[in-house]
Structure 1
Amino acid sequence: ATTAAGFIAQFTSPLAPFRTFGLLSAIGVVLSQLSSLYLLPAMLRITYRKGIDPVKLHTQRDMQREFKGHPVLGLFERIATKGGKPLIVISLVLAGATVATIPTIRTGTNMLDFFQPSSAVVRDTKKFNETMGGSGILTVMLDGKKASSILDPNFLRTLDSFADTMETVDGVGKVQTITPYIKRMNLLMNQDSIPYALPSQQQSDFDFFSGTFGLTADEEPEPQPDTADVAATRDAGTYDEIPTEPAKYGLETTEDLQNLISQYLLLYSGNLGSFINDTLEPSATLVTIQLQKSDTPTLREVHSAVTTFWDANVPTGWEYALGGGEAISLALTDLITRSQIYSLAGALLIVWLLVSIIFRSPLAGLIALIPVAFALMGIFIFMALLGINLDVITSLLAALAIGIGVDYAIHFLSACKRLSCSTGPDKGLGIVMRTTGRAIVINAASVTIGFSGLLFSRFIPIQQMGILFCVSMVFAGLSSLTVLPMVLNRWQPKFLLARSAPAPQVEPDDLPERRISP
């Protein structure tokens, strides 16, 4: 039930896949429990109709060995009964190390980190990032709400300034906007024009014969400067810009410049659909930022630079939004972090409540969380030491660790309550160590060895899951056999004394001949 409760705690996650995972896992745990309680006994009954012969199955020999003691289990018993102060010091050191290392754990799901550095996809991506603008994509959409609002020269100049600003940010390769196309068209259409020249006025001339007979009453016109001479003296790139000065182009108002830019877009032979939503009267534009690095710190820096710029420069009534694969990755990182906090808090609360109900004591619920706390401390410390990110996969381990750790605690507490191990270490605790403790050691060792096979996977997240799962099993098992009995032996909580029988003195000669009778 507590294992299922740990998975049900995933319902508090803001991520729908995590909630689905928790639901399916909880259903699987419940079905396994039901089959163990009903199907397995029925199959044993059918298989062994005449009962189990303990001599034939070596049950007698195994039970005698259990009560003779075991060096490893005896060591755990001595540590729990005589090593209280060292255990407390070690526990405090681990708790302090956990608090100190948790802020250093990196968050984020970078798909490139899931592959070995020698894999082809990693090498090709790095080559692409070094040669081209970058494989990561972050897009910014700016919506002016009104037709032709994107063609406002002042906004286009701000957009061009934004592109220059973003290209100075670390990790940004290239920034693609519509402004380079407008600047190029402006240069080509005005490269032979004279800046700030007055528009030519065509005057009506009714003197049809003065030119023929050399008679005229008009003054001689002022000599116009030679266009070639002006072009030779001015800067060739003077028109490589966003047109913002009407007089420079022989125009009068900003609306005239806006119409001029609209004509540029009509004359452009290429497709600008990836930058604006309409060729004639665009109201929205898209900016594409290519990233050479996709780690979470870089994404946060770029995201902060974008929001800081547009919060200060976005025109009144306009809106902007961020999108693209890297924006989704950053949002997923924040959701994973929140999901980890919610699921941990929910799982611990549910487990504490269930154990408190089972033993009818809130203190029992707190004591049962000791192996859980050590399993979580082991996971977080090793994540920080090995540089393992808190991502989509590793964030699921906490719920698994809670379910496993609390199972060990419940088994140990139930055995102590049944055998009254709180009356002293020489009788009750020794029997618990040689029975329930032995089962915990076997279970922890077998599960750890089983998950150690994941270390040979070539997929890095699977390797990391294997490492952290083995660590959580070791921490939970050791704390269940040392710290937990130390707490019970030192403080002797009352819930273990209630309705408990004294520890039985079992002799080998008193063992039953048959364990299961027909």
Structure 2
Amino acid sequence: MDKIYKHPVLIVVIIGIITLFFALQLPRAELDNNNSRFVPDTDPAKVTNRLIDDTFGGSSFILIGLERKYGDIFDAGFLSRIRDFNNWVEAITIVGDVNSIVSSKYIAGVGDSIVVEKLVGDDFTGTSAEIAELKRRILSWDMYRHSLVSDDFAATQILVSLDISDDDMSNRDVADEFLKIRDMAQEMFSGMAEVYVTGLPIISETINESMGADLVLMIPLVILVVLLVLFFSFHRLTAVLLPLLTVVIAVIWSVGAMPLFDIKLSIISTVLPVILIAVGSAYGIHVITHYIEDIGSKSLNAEEHRFLVIALMRKIRKPISLAALTTFAGFCSFCFTKVVPIREFGFFSSFGVIVSFAVSMTLIPALLLLRGPRPLRKVEKKEEAGETNRVVTDVFLSIVRKKRTVLIFTSLIVLISVYGVSKVIIDNVFIEYFKSNTDIARSDKFIRDKFGGSKVVNVVFEADNSETLLMPASLSAMDGLNTYLEKRIAETGKTMGFTDLIKRINQVFNADESPGGIRKNYTVGEGQFDSFGFGGETGLGFGEWDDAGFTDPETMDGYGQAPSVKKDYTFEEFFSILDRAVNSGENNSMNASEFMRSIARQINYEGASYYEIPRDPEFYGKTTPEELQRLVSNYLVLLSGSIDSYSDDALEPRAIKTTVQLRTLGMIDTGRVIQEIRRFTDAMAPENIKVIIGGTALVEEALNELVVHSQLISVFISLGIVFLILGFSNHSIIAGVIGIVPLSISILINFAVMGFLGIKLNIGTSMVASVSIGIGIDYTIHYMEAFKREYIQSHGRGDFLQNTFAASGKAILINAISVGAGFAVLYFSHFVILKNLGLLIALTMGTSGLVSLTVLPVLLLTIKPKFIYREV
């Protein structure tokens, strides 16, 4: 060890150069909270999602809700502003399509003709007649409802689909475009409507913005807290600055190393500086505390001072090495998780712990040697220091001497905690990262309440050939799934897909048919239609129909329709229709809108009787299901060109898709919907149809499962490594067992608090246990070493226990308060999960310290382990 400290100036210079190198890397650090990268590329949910995106187009979109609180959306100036916004957004390179009330088209059958025109004309002036017609059009097709307009007509939605891959979302230039769209929406509709913007791209970028604000606030705050705690504890400037210097260096090295490996900061990485400052200061504190104790008020020359410093480092080398090694083990356990940001955090936090340890063991002694044997300014009176120690010693001695009471009370706490653990909710809700009053949280809630929601599940039906896929049984199963979800599953906000297009064209072509069916041998001719674009890349809208073959807004006649069937109804027939309309509902509580739709189906008003998948050959004048399949194939000729968001091929599809939007928040409710989808498709999909379920909701479900797996793996690895370290260092298995008991109790209490307070186990709080093990073990090691040292020195005689508390009690409490206070600053974070993380770790630091000073000594006194008692 003499050789290490022979050239203290060289140590300072080397550490300074390395620190400067890493500091120069800091400007290259980038933020990235693209949720797709949270899950590994090999995860089945992510693989499936990419396969669906490659087939039907990307599933990234921005949702913009516009609410007119004191009016409705039928205002000429307001609709004109939406048109201007559409034009502006469409010019952005990454935008695939923009779907809104002014960009969607309206298609209807009139007699033997088809009319295609804009849903809202360019000459819309907002007269009563125009508003009534627009409302009628919107109500005539369910595709508009909860997608473009709210039920009360006070809000409309603009869906901006993005022509980007998951990896593109991490690109800084692309991410800037997201924010540009959000800010332009706020600017253009200011004063006209309340603007709500959400969607995963916006959520990710909002996290990035808040992260930057967090780092600016919390790093100085945690430094200030640690400074104050240390100053009021030691009243010495040296004891404050040197430990702090080591952790600042560790932060620079750790964060600076991330750009070197092309690793971007995530929401988890935000706490890295806070953790290293709070945790890493402990090693420096140990060095300075023992230095102050050893030098006291001695007057030493340079050589004597050098000998004292080297002897000091020899004395504390083992306990500090063990503390660093066990903390390293706690953070290193994160390296084995599949959750990418947590794994990255594990790598760089482990590196930071080693740096803190290495710098504390080299730089601090080097600086002390360079400083020389000058006496330290001592503010605290010896009597005051002794009084503090006496109070701490007396309190814990009085507790520990009541061994039976401690064991009974601890057992009771454990039992209560086990019950609390059973109440823990496992759920990772991205929007719940934010406070409920933030713009992004309010926006997401608005979209859930008024429209379809921002979570997406894609259901794909796949077959070996298009004939099988287009059979009535296949299409009816997909359409039945949509109906089942919307009618029976409350969490479903909106379903849209391939079958909606088939039903609409079927309705339009049979608008003037009899509600009782089509005469036999009726056929639909094959018109040549170039485009019928519902949807764009996301499949969540209606897209552009500008080149629909039936020229907008002219009419096209013929196409083999049967002659129109019109009928005048008698009074009795009319009431019979009303009766059938009422009884055709699934329940007796139909609202007015549902009742009118039922009447429309009874009389085939505007083809309402035919808004269905053709499944009954006789009803359509056919004799076999194969003929209905060919009828649908003819419809695809009319739709060909722009249905790639729902079909892998315009004319002969072998894969078709339906999109389910969910109003759910977390994966508990989302998981129930996904389970219902699986049950329905298992029961109803034909055997020759392969059902594939994907979407962002499935990726989030996978993340939820990985969080749980990560929690279990990291905790067991942490405890296992701590057990081995303590066992080997003391040459005793019992030492390992005794050492992990206080940690296990603290972890149990942590989860119990989560259960009782309703704090969810998510990507943030899943880190609490392993971080607490890595840090809390310091208190166990410190006390066990002090207990062993004092017992051996006293030969088991006298009140060695009092000496143990005098030597370690105050130090453990100071360390626990310092680290806990450092983590408590996370309460000022913009993110709820980081607030919870900080408070839970602060709580666990307190419980770890208290358990180490109460339960641990009782166990040592009761068990009398040989690794301590045999030494005497």
**TM-score, normalized by length of structure 2?**
0.51
Partner of 1:181: 501
- Greater relative contact order structure (CA < 8 Å, 6+ sep): 1
- The equivalences for 1:13-32 within 5 A come to 13-32=337-356
Cα distance in 1 for partners of 2:334, 2:828 equals: 29
SS for the counterpart of 2:848 is: helix
Contact 1:8 1:26 in 2 (8 A): yes
Aligned with residue 759 of structure 2, among 388, 391, 408: 388
Q: Secondary structure at the match of 1:133?
A: coil
**Percent sequence identity over aligned pairs:** 31
Q: Note closer, same or farther for the CA distance 1:247–1:24 as it changes in structure 2 (3 Å cut).
A: same
Change (3 A) 1:399 1:270: same
Q: Please identify, of 270-279 and 284-293, the stretch whose mean Cα deviation from structure 2 is larger.
A: 270-279
SS of residue in 2 equivalent to 1:289? strand
Out of 197, 203, 208, the position equivalent to 2:519 is 197
Distance 2:710 2:360 in 1: 32
Q: TM-score, normalised by structure 1?
A: 0.84
Whole-angstrom CA distance in 1 between matches of 2:334 and 2:359: 24
Structure 2 CA distance for aligned equivalents of residues 184 and 64 of structure 1: 86
- Equivalent residue for 2:645? 274
Aligned to 1:352: 723
Q: Secondary structure at the match of 2:830?
A: coil
Do the aligned partners of 1:136 and 1:291 also contact (CA within 8 Å) in 2?
yes
Distance in 1 (CA, whole Å) between partners of 2:363 and 2:834 is: 33
- Residues 138 and 289 in structure 1, CA contact (< 8 A), matched pair in contact too: yes
Aligned partner of 1:156 among 475, 495, 500: 475
- Per-residue CA shift, 1:280-331, capped at 9, x if unaligned? 0011111111111222221121011011111222322432222222211111
Q: Which whole-Å CA distance do the structure 2 matches of 1:277 and 1:464 have between them?
A: 45
Residues 425 and 115 (structure 1), Cα distance of their counterparts in 2 relative to 1, 3 Å cut: farther
Higher alpha-carbon deviation: 71-80 or 454-463: 454-463
The answer for the alignment partner of 1:309 in structure 2 is 680
* Distance (whole Å) between structure 2 residues aligned to residue 464 and residue 493 of structure 1: 38
Instruction: Give me the whole-angstrom Cα distance separating, in 1, the residues matched to 2:455 and 2:380.
Output: 67
Alignment of 1:6-155 (within 5 A): 6-48=330-372, 51-53=373-375, 57-58=377-378, 62=382, 65-66=385-386, 69-81=389-401, 83-155=402-474
Distance 2:620 2:743 in 1: 74
Match of 1:332 among 698, 703, 706: 703
Query: Partners of 2:841 and 2:342 in 1: how far apart?
Result: 18
Deviations 1:180-215 (A, max 9, x none): 2212211222334463524389xxxxxxxxxxxxxx
- Residue 373 of structure 1: how far off its partner (Å): 1.5
Equivalent-residue separation in structure 2 for 1:228 and 1:147 (angstroms): 33
Hey, what does 2:624 align to over in structure 1? Answer: 253
| Matches of 1:428 and 1:135, distance apart in 2 | 64
Q: How far has the Cα of 1:269 moved from its partner?
A: 7.5
Q: Distance in 1 between matches of 2:797 and 2:688?
A: 76
- Determine whether 1:461 maps to 2:780: no
Contact 1:401–1:469 under 8 Å retained in 2: yes
1:84 Cα deviation (Å)? 1.3
Gap change, CA 1:272 and 1:52, over 3 Å in 2:
same
- The root-mean-square deviation of aligned C-alpha atoms, in Å, is 2.7
> Which position in structure 2 is the counterpart of 1:172?
492
The yes-or-no answer on 1:5 pairing with 2:324 is no
Q: Please say if 1:240 is aligned against 2:611.
A: yes
| 1:490 is the counterpart of 2:814 | no
SS at match of 1:4: helix
Higher mean Cα deviation, 230-239 or 306-315? 230-239
Aligned length: 472
Q: In the alignment, residue 150 of structure 1 is paired with which amino acid?
A: L
The 3 A distance-change label for structure 1 pair 226 and 80 is closer
How far has the Cα of 1:123 moved from its partner? 1.9
> Which amino acid in 1 is paired with 2:728?
I
One-letter code aligned to 1:46: L
Q: Residues 231 and 15 from structure 1, CA distance in 2 versus in 1: closer, same or farther, beyond 3 angstroms?
A: farther
Looking at structure 2, the residues matched to 392 and 103 of structure 1 have their Cα atoms a distance apart, in angstroms, of 19
Matched to 1:478, the amino acid is: L
The farther-off stretch of 362-371 and 142-151 is 142-151
Map residues 260-299 of structure 1 onto 2, 5 A cutoff: 260-268=631-639, 271-299=642-670
Secondary structure at 1:38's aligned position in 2? helix
| Structure 1 residue 57, shift from structure 2 partner | 4.0
What's the CA shift for 1:63? Answer: 9.2
Aligned residue for 1:249, secondary structure, equals coil
Ranges in structure 1 where 5+ consecutive residues have no aligned partner:
202-224, 501-518
CA distance in 2 between partners of 1:158 and 1:425 (Å): 83
Return the letter of the residue paired with 1:16.
V
Asked whether the equivalents of residues 67 and 434 of structure 1 are also in contact (C-alpha less than 8 Å), the reply is no
Who is 2:714 aligned against? 343
Change (3 A) 1:38 1:454: same
* Alignment partner of 1:435 is 2:797: no
Whether the aligned pair in 2 keeps the contact of 1:378 and 1:471 (CA below 8 Å) is no
Q: 1:490 offset after TM fit, Å?
A: 2.5
Task: Summarize deviations over 1:352-393 as a string: whole Å, max 9, x none.
Answer: 011000011111111111331232123112211221111111
* Residue identity matched to 1:184: R
The amino acid across from 1:309 in the alignment is: F
Give the Cα separation in 2 of the matches to 1:198 and 1:440: 90
Change (3 A) 1:300 1:119: same
Task: Please report how far the alpha carbon of residue 256 of structure 1 lies from its aligned counterpart in structure 2 after TM superposition.
Answer: 2.3
Structure 1 position 19, deviation (Å): 2.5
Distance 1:68 1:292 in 2: 57
Instruction: Tell me how far apart the structure 2 counterparts of residues 186 and 60 of structure 1 sit (CA, whole Å).
Output: 90
Give the deviation of 1:270 after TM superposition.
Answer: 7.8
Q: Relative to structure 2, which stretch is displaced further, 228-237 or 83-92? A: 228-237
Once the 2 structures are TM-superposed, how far is the Cα of residue 229 of structure 1 from its aligned partner?
6.0
Structure 2: tracts of 5 or more residues without a match: 1-324, 524-561, 574-601
User: Which one-letter code corresponds to 1:334 in the other structure?
Assistant: E
Residue pair 1:94, 1:377 contacting (<8 A) in 2 also: no
- What is the rounded CA distance, in whole Å, between the counterparts of 1:425 and 1:166 in structure 2? 76
Structure 2 letter corresponding to 1:110: V
Q: Determine if contact 1:147/1:283 at 8 Å carries over to the other structure.
A: yes
Distance across 2 between alignment mates of 1:227 and 1:281: 31
1:77: how far off?
1.4
Counterparts of 2:386 and 2:563 in 1: how far apart (Å)?
112
Seen in structure 2, the aligned counterparts of structure 1 residues 229 and 436 have a Cα distance that, compared at 3 Å, is closer
Q: Using the alignment, how far apart are the partners of 1:91 and 1:438 within structure 2? A: 22
Q: What are the superposed Cα offsets for residues 442-487 of structure 1, whole Å, 9 maximum, x if unpaired?
A: 1111222222222233321221112101100110010111111111
What SS does structure 2 have at the residue aligned with 1:290? Answer: strand
CA distance in 1, matches of 2:379, 2:665: 60
Match runs of 1:413-432 below 5 Å: 413-420=784-791, 427-432=799-804
Q: What secondary structure sits across from 1:285 in the alignment?
A: strand
Q: In structure 2, how many angstroms separate the alpha carbons of the residues matched to 1:68 and 1:307?
A: 65
Q: Measure the CA separation in 2 of the matches of 1:14 and 1:359.
A: 34
